[in-house]
A = this chain, B = another copy of it.
């Protein structure tokens, strides 16, 4: 435990807010770097991090998901998904397919190129993360994952 953390914990209750705010800064700072690394590594592939995330989300679905499903999973408004899917379609990585049972619904399927891109993206993603997480050993990563998971669960009560 570093000095500031230790001091905060043993000090007045007002300091609880301070350590919490500091935690927020650390979280955002680490994410900024991670995002930069991802963008840099994915750029040669012609895919943005948000598109990559969408691609993975689609691939994790049993059947081609609806636009609304994707919006919910990505925790964004449906309008944001429209733009992302547009990008994937332009690059020939995914395609919109009409739902025969409900003509309002649009489903999104991966193309072959999309599946191919996924493995290249996995490499890029892991490299970006590995770089950032290098200072942590395996046990520390597991610990970090566990702590973050607790946060995720709390804010996404509907079993993510």
Contacts and interface: CB of A to CB of B under 8 A. Distances in A.
Which of A38, A75, A150, A153 has the most C-beta atoms of chain B within 10 angstroms of its own C-beta?
Answer: A150
A74 to B, nearest CB: 9
Interface in A113-128: 122, 125-126, 128
Contacts of A135: 150-151, 153-154
A5 B142 contact: yes
A7 to B, nearest CB: 11
Interface of A is mostly: helix
Contacts of A75: 29, 32-33
- In the complex this chain forms, how many copies of it are found? 2
A142 B28 CA distance: 16
Interface stretch (A13-21, A61-69, A91-99, A104-112): A13-21
Given A146-B2, A150-B136, A141 B26 contact: no
Contacts of A154: 132, 134-135
A1 interface: yes
A130 interface: yes
Given A5-B145, A24-B125, A29-B152, 20 more contacts: A2-B145, A5-B146, A6-B142, A16-B138, A19-B142, A19-B145, A21-B126, A21-B129, A23-B145, A26-B152, A27-B27, A27-B31, A27-B34, A30-B31, A33-B75, A33-B155, A132-B155, A134-B154, A135-B153, A140-B147
